């Protein structure tokens, strides 16, 4: 450390004072009063100077210290926020536990505004401040007694016992479903949360629309959900009607005894089922006329009614409050007669959400086949599903126009169980979907090559 001028002067003057004091003592021994007075005056003079210098140095040091801290100030004159995180009261507690062992401080929580814990010394100091020094008491009490007092004081309020965290109970609908309902093994279409959300939608009457390629399990999913919720199940296919109005509303009947009368449709009965029917509207995109969709609009939206004819005084069928709709749709290029997309207004009716299903992953598809065709061997199930995956990859690469569905895999597995060879069963099930056309690079040839590449 380099000494400042003031420090050097202080050192010099201190030495001079020391020297003068020595001379003054000598003068006293010689009884030389005059010399003693002179040295004493000089000492006093030097001491005054020394005090001035010391004050000067102190002021300078304080100033320097202030300037040093000013370096850290930002442009606005304040101190920038430190990147080091402030220790929390719990961190302090951990420190205490580390130093003094965990037992004394465990189970206690430091209140942020509280002082540090009492110990024997601090209690004795506080006692002295409050009541003055009491020698007799302090002699009588040992350090351990003061320590006990500290413990008592700590327990009395300086420290509060840690409150047990209040239990969080998830009593929401999805929470209850998750806690109580197991995902059935047949449900392999999506993750568990999708399963619980679908159940929640059924409970809240938020209708569901499921889209995906043919044979991927859309209808099976609907049947599973209906079965789990134990609702009366009714299925209406939009592709199998020549008379949409008769399918949904009903038709006139005649016999010679009763004459002509109106017979309401199965759909009308399902709407009025007091147990809250689970109505599956299957393949809604196959209705090319659009009539079915139009008739169903007021049924699916907030109006929740079905008018049986178009007259002013038409009979109105009110829906039971627990009726639930589950619709499926094929959307894609390979579906003859199917629209490429659904009407926006139609989609809006399905407030429970539109779920896009795809074919199952190979492993899950294999499990499903083994589950639904229990006598198929594991190896056959694996080979069938691997072949399906290969064809689906070609479909995705747009080399084929049709993919292999899970339904086709199941049909193949059933044929194998009944005694057909695997490759023959595949040819039997799959090839009719690929047209016979001339050429060496047709879709059919590609599929045959894929089958043959499987070996025996």
Contact of 386 with 361, CB cutoff 8 Å: no
- By beta-carbon proximity to other proteins, the closer residue of 199 and 409 is 199
Q: Is 224 in the site for other proteins (CB under 8 A)?
A: yes
Q: Is 227 in the site for other proteins (CB under 8 A)?
A: yes
Q: Is 377 in the site for other proteins (CB under 8 A)?
A: no
**What is the C-alpha end-to-end distance of the chain, expressed in Å?**
92
Q: Strand, coil or helix: what is 420? A: coil
Task: Calculate the dihedral angle through the C-alpha atoms of 70, 75, 77, 82, rounding to the nearest 10 degrees.
Answer: -70
| Order of strands across the sheet that contains 208-211 | 233-237, 278-282, 324-329, 208-211, 353-356
Stretch that binds other proteins, among 36-44, 229-237, 330-338, 384-392 (CB under 8 A): 229-237
Those residues whose C-beta lies under 8 Å from the C-beta of residue 153, and which sit 6 or more positions away, are 118, 123
Q: Is 88 in the site for other proteins (CB under 8 A)?
A: yes
- By beta-carbon proximity to other proteins, the closer residue of 57 and 357 is 357
Residue 396, H or E segment:
helix 378-396
Q: Is 112 in the site for other proteins (CB under 8 A)?
A: no
Per-residue b/e over 338-348, b at no fewer than 16 CB within 10 Å?
Answer: bbeebeeebee
Shortest spacing between CB 417 and other proteins, in angstroms: 7
Three-state SS for 262-323 is EEECHHHHHHHCCCCCEEEEECHHHCCCCHHHHHHHHHHCCCCEEECCCCCCCCEEECCCCC
Strands 316-318 and 259-264: unpaired
Shortest spacing between CB 91 and other proteins, in angstroms: 8
- By beta-carbon proximity to other proteins, the closer residue of 21 and 176 is 176
- By beta-carbon proximity to other proteins, the closer residue of 375 and 401 is 375
Shortest spacing between CB 47 and other proteins, in angstroms: 59
Binding marks (x or -) toward other proteins, 234..273, rule CB under 8 A?
----------------------------------------
Q: Is 371 in the site for other proteins (CB under 8 A)?
A: yes
Binding marks (x or -) toward other proteins, 152..191, rule CB under 8 A?
------------xxxxxxxx-x-xxx-xxxxxx-x-----
Residue 61, H or E segment:
helix 33-70
- By beta-carbon proximity to other proteins, the closer residue of 20 and 368 is 368
Q: Is 321 in the site for other proteins (CB under 8 A)?
A: no
How many chain residues are in contact with other proteins, going by CB under 8 A?
38
- By beta-carbon proximity to other proteins, the closer residue of 88 and 243 is 88
Q: Strand, coil or helix: what is 107? A: coil
Strands 305-307 and 316-318: antiparallel
Shortest spacing between CB 112 and other proteins, in angstroms: 13
Q: Is 228 in the site for other proteins (CB under 8 A)?
A: yes
Chain residues that interact with other proteins, rule: CB under 8 A: 88, 90-91, 164-171, 173, 175-177, 179-184, 186, 199, 203, 220, 223-224, 226-230, 233, 371-372, 374-375, 417
């Amino acid at each position: 450390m380099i000494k400042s001028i003031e420090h050097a002067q202080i050192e010099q003057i201190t030495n001079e004072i020391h020297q003068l004091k020595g001379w003054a003592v000598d003068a006293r021994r010689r009884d030389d009063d005059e010399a003693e007075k002179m040295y004493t005056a000089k000492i006093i003079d030097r001491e005054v100077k020394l005090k001035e210098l010391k004050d000067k140095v102190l002021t300078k040091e304080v100033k320097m210290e202030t300037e040093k801290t000013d370096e850290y100030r930002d442009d606005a004159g304040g101190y920038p926020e430190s990147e080091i995180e402030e220790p929390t009261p719990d961190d302090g507690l951990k420190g205490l536990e580390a130093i003094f062992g965990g037992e004394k401080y465990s189970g206690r929580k430091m209140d942020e505004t509280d002082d540090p814990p009492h110990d024997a010394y601090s209690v004795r100091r506080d006692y002295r401040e409050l009541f003055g020094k009491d020698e007799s008491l302090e002699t009588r009490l040992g350090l351990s007694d003061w320590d006990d007092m500290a413990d008592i004081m700590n327990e009395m309020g300086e420290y509060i016992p840690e409150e047990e965290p209040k239990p969080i109970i998830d009593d929401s609908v999805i929470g209850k479903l998750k806690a109580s309902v197991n995902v059935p093994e047949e449900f392999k279409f999506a993750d568990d949360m999708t399963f619980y959300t679908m159940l929640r939608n059924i409970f809240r009457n938020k209708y569901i629309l499921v889209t995906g390629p043919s044979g991927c399990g859309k209808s099976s999913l609907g049947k599973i959900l209906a079965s789990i919720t134990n609702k009366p199940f009714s299925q209406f296919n939009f592709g199998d009607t020549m008379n949409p109005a008769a399918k949904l509303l009903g038709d006139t009947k005649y016999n010679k005894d009763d004459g002509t009368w109106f017979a309401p449709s199965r759909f009308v009965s399902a709407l009025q089922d007091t147990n809250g029917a689970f109505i599956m509207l299957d393949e809604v995109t196959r209705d090319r006329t659009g009539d079915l969709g139009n008739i169903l609009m007021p049924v699916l939206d907030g109006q929740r009614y079905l008018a049986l004819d178009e007259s002013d005084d038409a009979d109105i069928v009110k829906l039971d409050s627990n009726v639930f709709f589950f619709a499926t749709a094929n959307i894609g290029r390979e579906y003859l007669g199917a629209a490429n997309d659904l009407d926006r207004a139609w989609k809006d009716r399905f407030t429970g959400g539109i779920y896009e299903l795809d074919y199952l992953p190979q492993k899950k598809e294999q499990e499903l086949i083994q589950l639904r065709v229990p006598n198929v061997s594991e190896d056959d199930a694996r080979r069938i599903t691997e072949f399906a995956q290969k064809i689906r990859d070609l479909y995705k690469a747009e080399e084929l126009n049709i993919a292999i569905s899970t339904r086709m895999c199941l049909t193949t597995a059933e044929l194998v169980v009944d005694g057909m060879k695997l490759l023959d069963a595949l040819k039997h099930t799959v090839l009719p979907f690929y047209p016979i056309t001339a050429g060496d690079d047709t879709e059919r040839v590609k599929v045959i090559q894929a089958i043959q590449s499987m070996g025996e």
